[in-house]
Amino acid sequence: MIDLTRRNFIKNVGFVGATTLFCGTLLAQNTFSNLSDSEKGEENILAQFLKSSYSDTFSLDPMLLECYKKAIVNWEKMGYEPSGNFCYSSSDNHLKMFPMQLHVNGSGKLDAILLCFGKNSNGEWKTLKSLSGFDLEAITVAMKELKTKNNSADITHYLFPAPVQQVNPYSFETKRGSVFLKTILSPEQTSTKIIVTEGSNIIFQKEVISQHSLVVNSILV
């Protein structure tokens, strides 16, 4: 699961204060837990997906391996590495998600992301989206509330990318509609606005105040 005990997330975006634009490296005070399963499976958004090893996944689909290798090049240049040797798959195997982490000597794990890949109607694998810790925090909140409204529905169809070309930096299409996510980073309080639609109708909207803290080590005015 996404471990949502109190910890720190970073995201590769700037954030706006009252009169100052903050940029640069966002450092966490504590270490990250892995994007992995929790004992509380009912609260685990990733528990809704199939979990398999890299070796099994890539041996069955060499084209996915090629796409994955190309996608992680820039992430590796920034210091990210796989968080374990496993990935998550949708039931139809058209969505694959790989957890990665940023680890810095002396600081521990600073960031965790989920790289999403989709298999289109032509059988080609494409990079869809990278979901940050803040994104996943907001998605988990939405999952819990949407399940109370319709416990029989497959909530993942509302909250995770569909295997289609994703072009909007703040949103992505899902099988049932779309998800809008925008995080405002601040040392005092970080929040993520999430809007979930089914078709053209908004079915969930909330500003999620993060339970995690943030430290900025460089500021550009």
Q: Are 122 and 27 in contact (CB under 8 A)?
A: no
Sheet holding 171-173, edge to edge: 171-173, 177-184, 191-198, 201-209
The residue ranking higher by pLDDT, 159 or 221, is 159
pLDDT digits (tens, 9 = 90+) for 94-127: 999 999 988 776 665 677 899 999 999 899 999 9
Mean pLDDT of the chain: 79
Predicted local confidence at residue 91, as pLDDT? 92
Q: Are 92 and 156 in contact (CB under 8 A)?
A: no
Predicted local confidence at residue 211, as pLDDT? 82
pLDDT digits (tens, 9 = 90+) for 38-92: 444 445 778 889 999 999 999 999 999 999 999 999 999 988 999 889 999 999 9
